[in-house]
Structures are given as structure tokens and as C-alpha cells.
Amino acid sequence: MAICHRQCPAAMAFCFLETLWWEFTASYDTTCIGLASRPYAFLEFDGIIQKVKWHFNYVSSTQMESSLERIQEELKFQPPVVLSLEDTDVANGVVNGHPRVTLEPAPNFRMEPVTALGVLSLILNIMCAALNLIRGIHLAEHSLQVAHEEIGNILAFLIPFVACIFQCYLYLFYSPARTTKVVLMLLFICLGNVYLHGLRNLWQILFHIGVAFLSSYQILTRQLQEKQADCGVV
């Protein structure tokens, strides 16, 4: 890329770039270029760039007539693309014919800090999920050998297990339509435990339902953090 005065002939700018290209290929071979890994690996080439720039600025164009004539002939067959200032304006969101892209700040989905009661609800929820999983697997192994009528009981253990795990997820991470999901998970846990009335006593059922209500309350009361004021830092 070369930036020059608008009165400078296009052939002169292309001649300048071509001269730099020849100087660069003469100074560095392909092996040296391929092994370059650090930023500004060819910083010393700036000295050659300054010499070539001085040569084009202060040496008369008559000394470069042969190169200029050749490039002018090439430009007649392949004229350069002329861009206006509006074409190079990236801020308006229209670049090279692409549709306008509106840049908006990403939504802030950072939740409020976890409370001690929230940690307790997570621990109790994980414990209830583990109890449901163990009882469900044990009942499934027993039912495969005895009868197939226990499928409803197996599902009544496994569905609350999934609901408990999902409650933990809803508490830790933001999710759209949280209220609807919380109500559904609470409903699954309550119905599952009521269905298991013959396999669990009243206190066990109340414990699982109480933990489900506690987790639901913690999920609904843990809100998104308020977005910090914009201080104009860009």
C-alpha cells in the first residue's frame, strides 16, 4: 500500500511499489520469509523503504521514464480501481457492497453472586438427585429380573433426578424463560415423589419436595447483575 498526493500519477505509485517489491526479494529469500515468526521481523527493511521514498520524491521522473512507460502501458489494459472516501469509510457499516452491519453491545448475562443459602440448596439438590438415581438404577436392575410393571416407578425416580440436575443448572447459569422452566422442574419433582408414595414414607417425600421448593426459590431470586455505567472507554 502506498499513500501519495492526489496529483501524483498512478503509474508513479505502482512504480514505487514495484521497486520496493524488487528490493525486498533481493534482500530476503523465501527461506528467511518462511522462518519469520516474531512481529516486525523485517523491521530493518524500513531503511530501504526510506531510501526508495527519497529517490522517488527528489529524483526527476526523467530518470525513471522506462519504468513509468512500461507501467503506464500495463495500466491501460488493467486500470486501477478508484475508491472514493465513502468507499473506504468502515464506520458506516457498508464495506465492499456488504449490507449494513449494526454493532450492538453484547447482552450482560452475569448473575449475582452465589449466596450461602444458594450453596446449601445446590448441595441438597445434588443429594436428592443422587438418591433418585441410585434408587432408580437399583429398581431397574430388580425389575428386569422380576416384572415389567415397575417401569412407572423407575421413571418416577429418573425424571426427578434429571429435574434436580436441571435445577442446579438453572441456579448457576442464566437461561431464558427461567420461570417456566423452574415451574416445570418443580412439577416433575412433586409428581414423581407423590407417585412414589408406596416406596417412600411421608418424611422422605416432604424432604424431596421441600428441597425442590427451596431450589426454585433460590433460582427465581438470583437475578442478573445490573450493567455497570459506561465510562466511555473504547
Give the pLDDT band (50/70/90) at residue 90: low
Region 205-230 average pLDDT: 82
At residue 29, does pLDDT exceed 90?
no
CA distance 154 to 141: 10
CB atoms within 10 A of CB 85: 6
| Higher pLDDT, residue 84 or 164 | 164
Average pLDDT of the chain, as a whole number: 78
At residue 232, does pLDDT exceed 50?
no
Give the pLDDT band (50/70/90) at residue 98: low
Lowest mean pLDDT across 75-79, 86-90, 141-145: 86-90
3-state secondary structure the chain: CCCCCCCCCHHHHHHHHHHHHHHHHHHCCHHHHHHCCCCCCCHHHHHHHHHHHHHHHHCCHHHHHHHHHHHHHHHHHCCCCCCCCCCCCCCCCCCCCCCCCCCCCCCCCCECCCCHHHHHHHHHHHHHHHHHHHHHHHHHHHHHHHCCCCHHHHHHHHHHHHHHHHHHHHHHCCCCCHHHHHHHHHHHHHHHHHHCCCCCCHHHHHHHHHHHHHHHHHHHHCCECCCCCCCCCC
CB 171 within 8 A of CB 118: yes
- pLDDT at position 226 is 63
Place of cell 443422587: 130
Residues of the chain with pLDDT > 70: what percent? 78
- pLDDT at position 190 is 92
C-alpha cell recorded at residue 162: 434429571
| Higher pLDDT, residue 141 or 226 | 141
At residue 127, does pLDDT exceed 90?
yes
Give the pLDDT band (50/70/90) at residue 95: low
> Which residues have C-beta within 8 Å of that of residue 62, sequence separation ≥ 6?
none
CA distance 212 to 163: 9
Give the pLDDT band (50/70/90) at residue 46: confident
C-alpha cell recorded at residue 199: 416406596
CB 193 within 8 A of CB 200: yes
- pLDDT at position 83 is 66
CA distance 8 to 2: 11
pLDDT in tens, 128-150: 999 999 988 888 877 655 555 67
pLDDT in tens, 147-205: 556 788 888 888 999 999 999 998 888 888 889 999 999 999 999 989 888 888 899 89
Rounded-to-10 torsion of CA 195, 156, 136, 172: -120
At residue 50, does pLDDT exceed 90?
no
- pLDDT at position 231 is 41
Which residues sit opposite 224 in a β-bridge?
111
pTM equals 0.51
